[in-house]
Structure formats: structure tokens, C-alpha cells
Structure 1
Amino acid sequence: MDKAVLEEIEEMRRDLKYRLAETHRWDGQLRRQLQARAIQGSNSIEGYQASVEDIQSIMAGEEPLETSAPVAREIAGYQQALTFIQLLSRASVFRFDVGLLNSLNFMMIGHHRDKTPGVVRPGGIYVRNSATGEVVYEGPDAEQVPGLMDQLVEWLNGGDPDAPSYVRGAMAHFNLVSIHPWRDGNGRMSRALQTLVLGRDQILTPEFSSIEEWLGLGENTIDYYRALRETQQGAWRPHGEMLGWVRFCLKAHHMQAQRVRQRLAEAGEIWMLLEEQVDADGLNSRTVSALYEVFVNRRLRRSRYQADEGLSQGQAARDLRDLAAKGWLRPYGETKGRFYAPGPRMERIKADFAERVTPLRDPYR
């Protein structure tokens, strides 16, 4: 069964690779959306909630409309680390080392100087149930951590080379989160490491190979913690049974690949539909970019559209006014806080596509 699931994941990845080899107008926006959803998923697991729209604003160096400053710092730190991981995935010269892992941790939580970011913890560490306060996991003694990190890095560079990449990524995730080497950011670091392992094996780019979005979705987060706890059994166990954890990760990869494949197919259909509508309205074809952004997200800011299409501020503002006048967009707010939400015509198209969603298939059922 596991072999069949792996083969199906690989088949979907090959299909995505071929589709991505062709250049489409919507590729950049789709990649940005998927990266934002990965960042959203990994941070929401830790209790840092932000909308996809605000995360995209933070990614662009803009002030978010709704997200608080403390949460925005968490998002920005994680985005910085994930951007570095994308570069490392394509680097011609690369080796895993403890310094790299410490640096990624510092990128993520460097704004928490009181938590000694990028430095191995000096003492014991406990993971508690946030609802009850009960200790659900105790990490290895601090004296063991340097040696365990060295062993992990040695394995990352050459251990189990014949194992499927998805299995190696799952093992890297589990081992790092179980060592729990830092005072904070261990969960996000472990999920990011899984993405880097896959990226180094050239499994597309991190925004397409990451399972962070899937892990951050409602009940999936509960299942994620359950899979960790059942495998960890409360304390550091270097030789525990791993099959349940690996199967959980394979399922997550399979389900996320299904979601991405659906989004790719939907993106082309939506874009062509919007092109027809824009042409019929006598609008500039570049405005499809703005309409697509509003379709996949709840809102659009003028600066985003302006940057995507390389326009002047005046050109972008005029285009958005024209779209609002035609009933495609609805403006809200003033000056820096101004944004555009779906107008009545866009709402009808979104409602039509919402009814056509194909349910995902659990590969283990």
C-alpha cells in the first residue's frame, strides 16, 4: 500500500513538473499564493494567525491591513527562512551543517532575542498541551543535543540515500522536532527542514512540495500532533516505530499534491474565462491579472497590481477604477488602507466555481 501511495505521489509530481515547464501568465501569482499558504499553515500551527492576503503583503514588504505587528514579525521571519530554503534547493554547492540549521532558526525567530535564537538550548525542554498544560513530550537532555545534531547532519548528508525522498523528508522532520534543539521555533524549523530535504532532491520548488499548508488546515493540525505524540510516546526515543509517522506524511503529500493539481487546472480555466470577459467589456487585457488576484484571494491592493504589471501608480489606479465601474471590483477604505474586494460580477463567478470543487481522495482508504 505504501509503495502504491508513493508511486501516485510521484505521478502527480511529474504531471505538475510538465505543466510548470510551460509558461503561463498566472504562474507567478499561483506560486506566490502557494508560498503564502505554506507560510500561513506552518505559523497557524503555532498560533500565529494571518490571512493569505496579509501574508502576501508582508512578502512584498508592505504593511498588512489586519495582522498585528507581533504576528507580522513571525510571518516575515518565516518568509525569510523559506526564501533562503528556495535558494538552497537550487544551489550547485551545498552541504547540511549545524550552522545552517542554527542560521535558519535565527532567521525565523531572531526578533525574540530573549529566546537566544540560533543557539542550542542550554537546558531541558518540555512540550505541553496548550489546553490542559499537561507535558506531552520531554526533549533529550541539553548535554545530548550537540551530539544528536551532529548525527542528524551526518545522516542528512549521506544517510539512507536509496530511501524515497518523501520518507527521508519525514524522518528529518521527526528527528529535528524530537531533538527540539532550540528554545523556540522547533516545529517551524522541522517543517522547513522537510521542505529543504525535498528541495535538495529536486522535487519541484518548495512552494509546490511543501505540506505545510495541509498540516495547518483545521483537523489536519490535530492529526499532525496526534501522529507526533503517538510516535514520540512522551520522550526522546531514537529507535521507536516510525511507520505511522511516515504514512501520515505520505498521506499529507498526496492530499497536498491533489490540491495543487486542482489549483493549476483551475487557474488556466479561470484566466481564460476572465480574458473573454475583459475583452467583451473593452478593458485592457492586463486587467485580467487584477481580476485573477481577486478571484483567488479576498482582496487586492493597488500596489500589488501595479507591481505585477509594471505600471505607474496612475495607470494602476485608472484600471482598478474601470474594473469597479464595470462591477468586477468593489473598493473599500482610503489612501494606504484602500483595497478592492470582489464586485457582484466576480462574486457570481466565484460562487459558480465553489460549487464545482472536486473532493480530495484519501490514498489510504
Structure 2
Amino acid sequence: MMSGENRYIWQADDWPHWRYDLAALAAPMAEVSRAQGLLLGRLADVGVALRDQASLAALTEDVVKTSEIEGEQLNVPSVRSSIARRLGVDIGAVAPVDRHVEGVVDMVLDATANCHAPVTRERLFGWHAALFPTGYSGLSKIKIGAWRDDASGPMQVISGPIGRQRVHFEAPPADCLDAEVRRFLDWLNGRSDEPPLIKAGLAHLWFVTLHPFDDGNGRIARAIGDLLLARADGSPQRFYSLSAQIQRERKAYYDILERTQKGTLDVTEWLAWFLDALHRAVDQAQHTLDAVLFKARFWQRWAATPLNARQVKLLNRLLDGFEGKLSTSKWAAIAKCSPDTALRDINELMALGILRKSDAGGRSTRYELNDPIMSASSLSSYPLTSTPSSGASPV
């Protein structure tokens, strides 16, 4: 970058005095608030146990997707087990959890459960250390719990093969980070005139623009956004995941981020995108809640029916969204039983009317949940006021 050439927003003379057209953002803000109200209204009508299940689903998706955005694949059962243990939610058998999963979960839960606590330099350092428990990012050793030092050159966001790399963004020099982060935290923790949803969008953009760590800046920026959204909701319990929505719209996210960071301090376009993505995240949470409620009603419908552990396990897999079609061989592999035992389990469920043969063709017979049993009308008569005490287990 040539000396004196202003290419990025942090080089502007009036940095970081953000500007935005509040009138243009009023309608998107109102739409997000309405969607949040509809979701929270539905949640208010269900019991604590089901709200906990909905929160568990949202937090699991948030942890998995915030890492997936950065190209890291976490084990979903491990993440779910780690969060369930911390929330005190009974999910039955738990999966093994490694240190890396625990670290990401620690950060996300601290950001949301302790949303009203000040965000300090030490708290950010703790999040960063939790993300990188080994001191390495992949094969590269990085500074942990400390600002980057730019010893190997300016912090740049790049893509493409070596020799043809494209620089998408260059962060502020390391020697100004102490002052820059202090100014950011003063604004974050202090009272300001921005509407809460606008502040969440600005905080995300501001932190990821400072890029103060060697790695993990995107995940921490999203955690800060979640913290401010939890404050805006007035509840530390999360029921929607902006990180998951960003992952679904990853290319659009990086495109708008690059345009904004190479533009002016008028960030109306970024905030409009942020609010629209947030709206879609809340709408997606309605589908998650549908699945949680549906699964609960299903198990209440069959609470008095004696089922073995294999049948409960496979039915839960189907209820959670089994990929592909279920065959006898798949049943045997998942349940760790013989094909004869798998077929016996399936025939029992077909006799009860829980399963049926799929219409899909193929070399082997496929099975699926019976549509009449799965219809909303057939399940809605079972109130969500109790938990089965015997028979089938919903975990």
C-alpha cells in the first residue's frame, strides 16, 4: 500500500465516527423487532424444558457455524454435549468433547450468558486463549491472549494461490492497537445513542476492522455481536443464530464486508445487510422451534409405548433430520446390531404405525416416519405440559 493512500475506512481523517441513514434503516429494524417478538411470544407459551431444548439447538448451531465460517469443522454431537452439560439440559448419552470444542463453547456461552458484564481487554484475551488452547492455529504458532505484533508484516486478509494472491483488506498497524481497542471498548461498554440492533452491527464491523489478534477475529467479532443482541433481547438465553445465517450467506457477507472496509464511514449499506441477515436468522429459528416442539409432541404421543433403546435412538435420528433414506443395513450400522435384529425392530415400528415403507425405489427397501403420525393435526392434541415418565424417551 502506497504511503498516504487511503484505501480503508480506518485511514479516514474522522475515523471512527460512523455515519448511517437512520431513516433508511428504520423499516428493517422494525421488521427484525417484529420477528423477534413473534419468536419470543411462541417461546413464552411453551414450558421451560422446551425453551431449554430450543436454546440448546440454537447455541449448538451458533458454535458449529461460527467455526465453519473460518473453515473449521467441529463435531456436532461433541458441541451439543458440551453446551447441554453447561446448561443443565438432559440429552441422555453424551459424546466425548475435546479441548477445542470446549474453548469455542466457553467463549460463546460467556458472551451470551454474561452479556451484561463489561467487555474488557482481559475478557477478550480469555476468549482468544479459549479458541486456541494449544497455542497454534493449524500448523502455525500464534500469539495467544495478546494483540498481534505484525512481526512478519502487516495483518492482511488475502485469498488465492501463492503468487496470485489478492489482498481484500489490510488492518491498522499493531502499534496503534492498544489505543484503538481501548476506544472501541469505551464505546461498547458505555451509553450511546445508537439503537441496540445498530450498535450490534457497528460493533461487529468495528472489531473485525481492527483485527487485533493473529487469528480468531471473525469468531470474536460474532461473539461480541451476540453479546449485544442478548442485551437487546433482554435475555441471555439464545434462540437464533446470526453466525449460522452468515455461514448460509458467506459469500455475500464477505462481499459486503470488503466493500464497507474499502468505502467511507457511511456504513448504511452494511447495517442494512446486517439487519436483513438478522431477520432471516430469526425466521430460521421459527423452523428450529417447530422441530423442537414437533419432536416433543411425537414422544408424548408414544410415551406409553414400550420401545427398546435401538428404536428410540433411530427414531430420534429420523426426527432430527436423517439424511437420505433409512434402510435395514443403515439401521444395523447405527444401532450396532445384526441385520435380523434391525429388521425385527423396523417391523415392530411398522406394526405400531410409526414407520412405513418409503415409495422411493432402489435395490433395498427404505423406511420413513409415517406421514399421518407426523402430521401437525394428529400431534397437536398432545399438550406440552408433561414429560413421559415411562416407555419411550425423548432424549
* TM-score (normalised: structure 1): 0.71
Quick one: structure 1 residues 14 and 110, their matched pair in 2 at CA, closer, same or farther if it must change by over 3 Å? Answer: same
C-alpha distance in structure 2 between counterparts of 1:115 and 1:323, whole Å: 52
Shift of 1:323: 8.5
Quick one: structure 1 residues 24 and 200, their matched pair in 2 at CA, closer, same or farther if it must change by over 3 Å? Answer: closer
Unpaired runs of at least 5, structure 2 = 1-23, 86-93, 324-343, 356-365, 377-395
Residues 64 and 79 in structure 2, CA contact (< 8 A), matched pair in contact too: yes
Question: Deviation digits for residues 177-200 of structure 1, max 9, x if unmatched?
Answer: 110001110111101110011223
Residues 211 and 256 in structure 1, CA contact (< 8 A), matched pair in contact too: yes
Shift of 1:38: 0.8
Question: Superposed, which structure 2 residues align to 1:264-343 within 5 Å?
Answer: 264-279=289-304, 281=305, 291-292=315-316, 294-298=318-322, 326=349
* Percent of paired sites with the same residue: 21
C-alpha distance in structure 1 between counterparts of 2:167 and 2:374, whole Å: 45
Partner of 1:143: 175
Quick one: structure 1 residues 43 and 80, their matched pair in 2 at CA, closer, same or farther if it must change by over 3 Å? Answer: same
How many equivalent residue pairs? 299
C-alpha distance in structure 2 between counterparts of 1:271 and 1:86, whole Å: 26
* TM-score (normalised: structure 2): 0.66
Note the aligned Cα RMSD (angstroms): 3.3
Partner of 1:30: 54
Could you say which structure has the larger radius of gyration? 2
Unpaired runs of at least 5, structure 1 = 65-71, 300-320, 330-342, 354-365
Question: Superposed, which structure 2 residues align to 1:136-175 within 5 Å?
Answer: 136-160=168-192, 162-175=193-206
1:257 aligns with 2:282: yes
Shift of 1:121: 0.7
Partner of 1:84: 110
Q: Which amino acid aligns with 1:253?
A: L
Residues 271 and 288 in structure 1, CA contact (< 8 A), matched pair in contact too: no
Question: Superposed, which structure 2 residues align to 1:227-242 within 5 Å?
Answer: 227-233=256-262, 240-242=265-267
Residues 274 and 288 in structure 1, CA contact (< 8 A), matched pair in contact too: no
Partner of 1:313: none
Give the helix-richer structure, 1 or 2: 1
Question: Superposed, which structure 2 residues align to 1:95-244 within 5 Å?
Answer: 95-113=118-136, 114-123=141-150, 124-130=154-160, 133-160=165-192, 162-205=193-236, 207-217=238-248, 220-233=249-262, 240-244=265-269
C-alpha distance in structure 2 between counterparts of 1:57 and 1:31, whole Å: 13
C-alpha distance in structure 1 between counterparts of 2:190 and 2:287, whole Å: 35
